[in-house]
Amino acid sequence: MQNLLLSALALSAAADAYGAGAAGWDAAYSRAQAALLKLNQTEKVGIATGVGWQGGPCVGNTYAPSSIDYPSLCLQDSPLGIRYANPVTAFPAGINAGATWDRSLLYARGAAMGEEAKGLGIHVQLGPAAGPLGKNPDGGRNWEGFSVDPYLSGVGMEETIQGMQDSGVQACAKHWLGNEQEHNRETMSSNIGDRATHELYLWPFMNAVKANVASVMCSYNKLNGTWACESDAVLNELLKDELGFPGYVMSDWNAQHTGVNSALAGLDMTMPGSDFNKPPGSIFWGPNLVEAVANGSVPQSRLDDMATRILAAWYLLGQDQGYPKVTFSSWNGGKATVDVTADHASVVRTVARDSIVLLKNQEHALPLRKPKSLAIIGQDAIVNPKGPNACVDRGCNTGTLAMGWGSGTSEFPYLVAPLDAIKVQAQKDGTKIVESTTDSTTAAASAAAAAETAVVFINADAGEGYITVEGNAGDRNNLDPWHNGNELVKSVAAANKNVIVVVHSVGPIILETILAQPSVKAIVWAGLPGQESGNALVDVIYGSTSPSGKLPYTIAKQPSDYGAGWNSALVDNFAEDLFIDYRHFDKNGIAPRYEFGYGLSYTNFNYSGLAVSVSATAGPSNGPIVPGGAEELFKSVGTISVIVQNTGEIAGAEVAQLYLGLPESAPSTPPKQLRGFQKLNLQPGEQGTATFELTRRDLSYWDVQIQKWVVPSGTFTVYVGASSRDIRGEGKFTVT
């Protein structure tokens, strides 16, 4: 792991030397423009057009021109590893990476995924994801992204993209924009207010563009009535003009609806380029785009711009210099001729371990201390007896859950089951293991009755809407554990007085039934941990590492408390406006069960010495547009710091969090919003300083009248603490 972090830093230095910043784009554009001069019309269109689903080795492939030394581009999922190839590493899902709240781990995970992509000859890895953001707690693909909070999601995007691109692969930030549910995703309109668009859904993409992301994938849905991949307002105005995005926009697979309009709106690449899921012959570009330019429907300059953007991204990443050839095919089992997995299992285990959120720990039930006997209960404790990859795109929920389903998946090289990892530890401790690895309540009760402590495994799955699992068409039907998980826990709790519940889930589940059982002493959220699932869990429940994950979303007492959820209408008016997740709970005075940012440790942390040093002028941010937005937005306006001390007797890590409340001159703003965090590893008695650097963007709201980010005048409230509700220090600063 240490080696990986060091090599990641070396890669970062190399990328800086190459100049992958704004200057890097300038150099890349010069080279792209020179290459463009050598291409004929068909070749220019060809590098912007997919060859068709299954027309090449990757899920997306473009035509290779013969006039320049440029390949058929290979585009491959996913945000958590490489889809349809093996051997590859199955990393923890985005939601776990977000739950670490650890910038260096987010970067290391991105760098390791990028290394694997490059090693396999993949030019463009289709991730990371910030859309869906997760406003609907039951949204099917929320787990592919990092958090429902735009700030945390933005940091996840930025670090992951930097890691991936420092390894040499082009990243693709997706899905732009407003694709918050799976039901009707290809027909519905997300009608989002301008302010919520900016302050919530667009925010993490600003970080992505700022990190020089090579490509962006536009989404299936309509935005305010126009298809996202056909909307001038969404592609040209928001993404390319306002955020200054220099790279290229590709369509989601089949998200293009017209040839000319999409080209004029700013789409640069169509995927997968055939009549995938459409009537035969519905190919919008290819020869049709050549014709559209010839007859003047699409200006020559627009086609040149598409090709230049695509070429520039390739040069930006240095992919013209000895890039590996594609060494696998998605369509024949994905067997690669090289093994790219290196020591990435250690990244997986570290991310999985440090993302575990300890929700409840009564009577010091955890960590386990050499119990005499342990009952391990639930089908989620074992690997699917048919193998971890038995269902295509992980489209079933049998055995332990370690990723959701859909295109955002990879093949498992192996999957360490919780039961197997616990058995290894039990052997060392002389603990007798009693197993009940079905979800039968009767068998569970008898196993639980035969042991000193019982660990029950439950889960909740979700995924992409082209697969329906146990009646869930992508989005979840409810926020309950699957397979009668509440009943399973109840039967165990009736038979054993010392019960630990482990949850593998794609997002929040309602825990009230479980919490109502007095025998449930501890609850552990392990999310979607990837291939090292059991090992990471053992690290935490046996205490070799203190839990340090924090919730990347709120866990409510009842589903209606969220005030949001997927709906079956063809229009979603995003009535939540700015008030999603904790912003909604705070505004409406709703008590969450476990709030955003919450997570227990085996040790304790004391906060002191809050220091506020912020100096900013009120008003809009201007300046030239750089990748990410107006340059002034990213200027530092000062720092806030706090001292955190580990007051317990064991080592641990704490995520100190900064929330800001804007002055009243900013209309109708959420009471507090995350604007900084830092994870500190602290030995017993040790203290460290968490420093939050603020930029103008962090102080701003989007002014819909003047169409700019504005720093409001007045007094800002500073909240620093261990979660969004566990505030340990308050301060103020004033902007005039």
Ligand X SMILES: OC[C@H]1O[C@@H](O[C@H]2[C@H](O)[C@@H](O)[C@H](O[C@H]3[C@H](O)[C@@H](O)[C@H](O)O[C@@H]3CO)O[C@@H]2CO)[C@H](O)[C@@H](O)[C@@H]1O
**Residue 595 near ligand X by CB under 6 A:** no
Tell me how far apart the alpha carbons of residues 686 and 40 are, in angstroms, rounded to a whole number. Answer: 65
User: Is 304 an active-site residue?
Assistant: no
Taking the complex as a whole, how short is the minimal distance between the CB of residue 278 and ligand X, in angstroms?
Answer: 10
The smaller minimum CB distance to ligand X, of residues 28 and 172, is found at 172
- Residues in 461-480 at the binding interface with ligand X, rule: CB under 6 A: 466
**Residue 407 near ligand X by CB under 6 A:** yes
Taking the complex as a whole, how short is the minimal distance between the CB of residue 617 and ligand X, in angstroms?
Answer: 41
Taking the complex as a whole, how short is the minimal distance between the CB of residue 439 and ligand X, in angstroms?
Answer: 28
**Residue 253 near ligand X by CB under 6 A:** yes
The smaller minimum CB distance to ligand X, of residues 60 and 154, is found at 60
The smaller minimum CB distance to ligand X, of residues 221 and 341, is found at 221
**Residue 228 near ligand X by CB under 6 A:** no
**Residue 59 near ligand X by CB under 6 A:** yes
**Residue 252 near ligand X by CB under 6 A:** yes
Taking the complex as a whole, how short is the minimal distance between the CB of residue 217 and ligand X, in angstroms?
Answer: 6
Side-by-side strand order, sheet with 727-735: 673-682, 652-661, 714-721, 727-735
Taking the complex as a whole, how short is the minimal distance between the CB of residue 408 and ligand X, in angstroms?
Answer: 6
Taking the complex as a whole, how short is the minimal distance between the CB of residue 185 and ligand X, in angstroms?
Answer: 8
Tell me how far apart the alpha carbons of residues 76 and 510 are, in angstroms, rounded to a whole number. Answer: 35
**Residue 77 near ligand X by CB under 6 A:** yes
Q: Kindly report the backbone phi and psi dihedral angles of residue 515, in degrees, each rounded to the nearest multiple of 5, phi listed first.
A: -70, -20
Question: What does 703-735 look like in DSSP terms, one character per residue?
Answer: ETTTTEEEEPPEEEEEEEESSSS-EEEEEEEEE
Name which of 58, 109, 79 is nearest 410 in CA terms.
79
Tokens 């919008």 sit at which residue? 284
Coil/strand/helix, residue 161: helix
> CA angle, 274 as apex, 93 and 464 as ends, to 5°?
25
x/- letters, 355..394, toward ligand X (CB under 6 A): ----------------------------------------
The smaller minimum CB distance to ligand X, of residues 126 and 626, is found at 126
Report the residue from 126, 250, 644, 682 that binds ligand X according to the rule CB under 6 A: 126
- Residues in 140-199 at the binding interface with ligand X, rule: CB under 6 A: 174
Tokens (6 digits) for 706? 């003047």
Taking the complex as a whole, how short is the minimal distance between the CB of residue 218 and ligand X, in angstroms?
Answer: 11
Coil/strand/helix, residue 724: coil
The DSSP symbol for 239 reads I
The smaller minimum CB distance to ligand X, of residues 83 and 593, is found at 83
The smaller minimum CB distance to ligand X, of residues 58 and 564, is found at 58
The smaller minimum CB distance to ligand X, of residues 136 and 407, is found at 407
Taking the complex as a whole, how short is the minimal distance between the CB of residue 77 and ligand X, in angstroms?
Answer: 5
Tell me how far apart the alpha carbons of residues 519 and 444 are, in angstroms, rounded to a whole number. Answer: 15
Amino acid, single-letter form, for residue 433:
I
> CA angle, 218 as apex, 634 and 675 as ends, to 5°?
30
**Count of residues in contact with ligand X, rule CB under 6 A:** 9
**Residue 410 near ligand X by CB under 6 A:** no
Tell me how far apart the alpha carbons of residues 637 and 149 are, in angstroms, rounded to a whole number. Answer: 22
**Residue 525 near ligand X by CB under 6 A:** no
The smaller minimum CB distance to ligand X, of residues 59 and 307, is found at 59
Report the residue from 40, 277, 427, 544 that binds ligand X according to the rule CB under 6 A: 277
Q: Could you tell me the end-to-end alpha-carbon distance of the chain, in angstroms, rounded to an integer?
A: 47
Strands (E), 34-144: 60-61, 74-76, 124-125
The smaller minimum CB distance to ligand X, of residues 277 and 337, is found at 277
State the catalytic residue, choosing from 77, 102, 166, 252. Answer: 252
Buried b (16+ CB within 10 A) or exposed e, 522-545: bbbbbbbbbbbbbbbbbbbbbeeb
Other CB atoms within a 10 A radius of the CB of residue 484 amount to 15
**Residue 622 near ligand X by CB under 6 A:** no
Side-by-side strand order, sheet with 226-227: 226-227, 222-223, 189-190, 571-572
Q: Are 229 and 269 in contact (CB under 8 A)?
A: no
Coil/strand/helix, residue 241: helix
Q: Kindly report the backbone phi and psi dihedral angles of residue 490, in degrees, each rounded to the nearest multiple of 5, phi listed first.
A: -60, -40
Taking the complex as a whole, how short is the minimal distance between the CB of residue 172 and ligand X, in angstroms?
Answer: 8
x/- letters, 532..561, toward ligand X (CB under 6 A): ------------------------------
Tell which phi-psi region holds residue 420, choosing left (phi > 0), alpha (psi between -120 and 50) or beta. alpha
Q: Which residues are catalytic?
A: 252
Binding site for ligand X (CB under 6 A): 59, 77, 126, 174, 252-253, 277, 407, 466
